[in-house]
Chains A and B, each alone.
Chain A
Amino acid sequence: MDFFFFNLMPYGALDLDYDKKFASANLLLPNSYYDPEEGHKLYTRYLDELEYADELGFDGVCVNEHHQTAYGLMPTPGVIAGALARNTKNAKVCVLGRALPLVNNPLMIAEEFAMIDNITKGRFVAGFVRGLGVEYHAMGINPAFSLERFHEAHDLIIRAWTETGPFAFEGKHYHLQYVNLWPRPFSKPHPEVWIPSQGSEETIRWAAHPDRKYTYLNVYSPFSAVETFMSMYRQICEEEYGYKAEDRQLGLAVPIYVGETDEIAAKEARPHIEAFFNKFLRIPNELLLPPGYATIKSLKAIALAKREMLGGGKTMERMNDLGMFICGSADTVRSRLEEFQDRVGLGHMCTILQFGTLPHELTKKNMELFASEVMPHFEGRLRQQQSQAAE
């Protein structure tokens, strides 16, 4: 199992009482809540933290894309990835991911990613997502065509990366007379692709396809749901596609806090993780799941899996019990992660070591403890399939 450091870049200076007036930190929260002075400090600090993760020996640093929200300040993640491309030395630079259907010309994503891949000499992971439902409100894109646009954009990008141009791309949503990418990507045949997802069966089946074998990265689900999704991936590979999935095809992103003891960890993390779940991730259903964004069957499944996620009033203990947050001494965190590794055979663990309002000093300490006390334990450690797992 390898370890990545994920920074969501929340607007940590957020006035947490915003929810007395507004239903969500997404879309509807006026940007008068954003102070550019604070913003500058936060960007500087978050970039420092990402660069520090490289020094600490994390296998990768991860950023992502969100629009019109205090939850994450990276509407254009390529800007951050570009800065990291120069200031990191060993860690992979991962954009997890770009929301393909939200753009009207995905060739721009193929170009942007190819640039980062060239600058980093292939030290790059391309994440493709559809974007949160609320982002279809934010960007004025029709959610009912989200899946069609995702697949078309994906095909266009992969073809642009791998085929000699110029060629014409003839799609329903994207139709280009000339596809002739300069620069071509550094990686051969193309950059590694990960698919961050909330666990839709269609996505899992598509990512697992032998033509792709993309890494499926689960975000924000109770661990019991993660286990279901990961088993589904493995089962589809074996039963439908006739191959055995490698651990590297499965990843999990989860907020983690390591303290000197369980008590210290709980005390230090509590206000920040509760702000993360209750304030930054607060999205009403109408905004989160616009009509057409998912099939009615998936809508129901997502609604069930996310019910824990997107309302208010979540306590740290509850999130900890569900495995949506891992908190404690290095020993506690190690055994929790061992359990995750053993139960599903995770290849990649994307640690969210800064969350919500967690300040720089605690973030730094968390990163240091994680890198020195937790990560080495997993070096070369393989999945232990317990006998009771078969029962």
Chain B
Amino acid sequence: MTSIQTETLKVNDVNLTLRRAGEGETLLLLHGANGSASWLPVFEKLSKEFHVILPDHPGFGDTAPPEWMDNISDMAYFYLDVIDTLGLDNFHLAGHSMGGWMAAEIGVRDGHRIKSLTLVSAAGIWVKGTPMGDLFAWSPQETTHQVFAQKSVIDQMLALQPSDEELEDALKNRQMAARLCWAPRLHNPDLRKWLHRLKMPTLILWGDSDGIFPEPYAHAYHELIPGSQLEVYKNCGHVPMLEARDDFLDRLTAFTQGVS
């Protein structure tokens, strides 16, 4: 088993908690509004091929938020500082959901060190006439049904009995997600003007049954990012790392290694 190290990286006034494992080219993973848990199903496998870094964003998990962190633009500039601090060059970047939005915002600001970009079920744009799901208005049960597509996964998720600590973490993540993404809801109206600046090889991965960002969002991203590749998984919801795990791993690994 690969050993996963947790460490703290001081970036400006933030003590950033991050997980790190593996060797080789660096793959920086950005998690979504629900915290780093979404990447965990594939983290270990990915660390066999890459040097994987998975931070807890400020305000999520074990990283306390600085007062000034108000929006995804702040997050994007913050991560450019993280990339500088880590000394990353020619690295791969992959983001899920809100983390996908952050990855796109980072890429349009300064893409020259990013060797490849993968957007998974990414927030960041609005598709007119196709409303996003309202995750802030859903009950926990409703959320499970909207986020996952497969009955076995839904049943498994509904049966979970989170501890008080886990509940408090979830509340904390949700609060920070609201701070960053409530309005405009989970997107930046200006982002689509600049997605053409993503000139690095880009892969878009999506589930066809995503209740938060329905499939047309995947196609919209695909059209807005010149030369991007798109794969949509059948009977898969918002977390392909879980519901299409093997295909997802194969595709992400092959794509990332292919550009190496």
Query: How far is A144 from B172 in the complex, measured between Cα atoms in Å?
Result: 11
A286 CB–B CB distance under 8 Å: yes
Instruction: List 8 A-B residue pairs with CB atoms under 8 Å apart, sorted by A's residue number.
Output: A137-B137, A140-B183, A141-B182, A142-B183, A144-B175, A145-B179, A286-B139, A299-B171
Whether A291 touches B139, Cβ cut-off 8 Å, given contacts A296-B168, A296-B171, is no
Query: How far is A143 from B185 in the complex, measured between Cα atoms in Å?
Result: 12
A292 touches B178 (CB 8 A): yes
What B residues does A286 contact at CB under 8 A? Answer: 136-139
Interface mask (A187-211 → B, CB under 8 Å = 1, otherwise 0): 0000000000000000000000000
| Min CB gap B142→A, angstroms | 8
What B residues does A285 contact at CB under 8 A? Answer: 139
| Chain B residue with the shortest CB-CB distance to A145 | B179
A287 CB–B CB distance under 8 Å: yes
A290 CB–B CB distance under 8 Å: yes
B98 CB–A CB distance under 8 Å: no
| Min CB gap B171→A, angstroms | 6
A284 CB–B CB distance under 8 Å: yes
What A residues does B16 contact at CB under 8 A? Answer: none
Q: Number of contact residues on A: which range applies? A: 10 to 19
What A residues does B175 contact at CB under 8 A? Answer: 144, 291-292, 296
Interface mask (B168-188 → A, CB under 8 Å = 1, otherwise 0): 100110111111001101000
User: Taking each of B137, B182, B183, B185, which has the highest tally of chain A beta carbons within 10 Å of its own beta carbon?
Assistant: B182
B179 touches A284 (CB 8 A): no
In the A-B complex, the 5 residue pairs with the smallest Cβ-Cβ separation, listed nearest first, are A144-B179, A142-B182, A291-B178, A291-B174, A292-B178
Within the complex, which residue of B134, B171, B183, B185 is in contact with A291, where a contact is CB–CB below 8 Å?
Answer: B171
What B residues does A291 contact at CB under 8 A? Answer: 136, 171, 174-175, 177-178
- At the interface, is chain A mostly helix, strand, loop or mixed? helix
Query: How far is A145 from B183 in the complex, measured between Cα atoms in Å?
Result: 11
B182 touches A292 (CB 8 A): yes
| Min CB gap A287→B, angstroms | 6
Q: Number of contact residues on B: which range applies? A: 10 to 19
| Min CB gap B29→A, angstroms | 24
What A residues does B174 contact at CB under 8 A? Answer: 291
Query: How far is A284 from B136 in the complex, measured between Cα atoms in Å?
Result: 12
Query: Considering the complex, which residues of chain B in the window 169-220 have a beta carbon less than 8 Å from any beta carbon of chain A?
Result: 171-172, 174-179, 182-183, 185
| Min CB gap B170→A, angstroms | 10
Within the complex, which residue of B138, B168, B171, B182 is in contact with A144, where a contact is CB–CB below 8 Å?
Answer: B182
- Knowing that A144-B178, A144-B182, A290-B137 touch, tell me 13 more A-B residue pairs with CB under 8 angstroms: A141-B182, A142-B178, A142-B183, A144-B176, A286-B137, A286-B139, A287-B137, A290-B178, A291-B171, A291-B174, A296-B171, A296-B172, A299-B171
What A residues does B134 contact at CB under 8 A? Answer: 137
Query: Considering the complex, which residues of chain B in the window 132-184 have a beta carbon less than 8 Å from any beta carbon of chain A?
Result: 134, 136-139, 168, 171-172, 174-179, 182-183
Interface residues of B (CB under 8 A from A): 134, 136-139, 168, 171-172, 174-179, 182-183, 185
Interface mask (A145-157 → B, CB under 8 Å = 1, otherwise 0): 1000000000000
| Chain B residue with the shortest CB-CB distance to A140 | B183
What B residues does A292 contact at CB under 8 A? Answer: 175, 178-179, 182
What B residues does A299 contact at CB under 8 A? Answer: 171
| Chain B residue with the shortest CB-CB distance to A23 | B139
| Min CB gap B123→A, angstroms | 15
User: Taking each of B138, B171, B174, B178, which has the highest tally of chain A beta carbons within 10 Å of its own beta carbon?
Assistant: B178
| Min CB gap B162→A, angstroms | 15
What A residues does B172 contact at CB under 8 A? Answer: 296
What B residues does A140 contact at CB under 8 A? Answer: 183, 185
User: Taking each of B134, B136, B168, which has the highest tally of chain A beta carbons within 10 Å of its own beta carbon?
Assistant: B136
Whether A141 touches B136, Cβ cut-off 8 Å, given contacts A291-B171, A296-B171, A296-B175, is no
User: Taking each of A136, A142, A285, A296, which has the highest tally of chain B beta carbons within 10 Å of its own beta carbon?
Assistant: A142
| Min CB gap A34→B, angstroms | 21
| Min CB gap B70→A, angstroms | 8
Query: How far is A143 from B176 in the complex, measured between Cα atoms in Å?
Result: 11
| Chain B residue with the shortest CB-CB distance to A289 | B171
A143 touches B139 (CB 8 A): no
Query: How far is A144 from B136 in the complex, measured between Cα atoms in Å?
Result: 12
What A residues does B179 contact at CB under 8 A? Answer: 142, 144-145, 292
| Min CB gap B186→A, angstroms | 12
| Min CB gap A141→B, angstroms | 7
What B residues does A144 contact at CB under 8 A? Answer: 175-176, 178-179, 182
Query: How far is A299 from B179 in the complex, measured between Cα atoms in Å?
Result: 16
Query: How far is A141 from B136 in the complex, measured between Cα atoms in Å?
Result: 13
User: Taking each of A142, A291, A292, which has the highest tally of chain B beta carbons within 10 Å of its own beta carbon?
Assistant: A291
What A residues does B182 contact at CB under 8 A? Answer: 136, 141-144, 290, 292
B183 touches A284 (CB 8 A): no
| Chain A residue with the shortest CB-CB distance to B71 | A142
A137 touches B136 (CB 8 A): yes
A143 touches B168 (CB 8 A): no
| Chain A residue with the shortest CB-CB distance to B171 | A296
| Min CB gap A30→B, angstroms | 16
Query: How far is A296 from B168 in the complex, measured between Cα atoms in Å?
Result: 8
Query: How far is A136 from B168 in the complex, measured between Cα atoms in Å?
Result: 22
Query: Considering the complex, which residues of chain A in the window 279-313 have a beta carbon less than 8 Å from any beta carbon of chain B?
Result: 284-287, 290-292, 296, 299
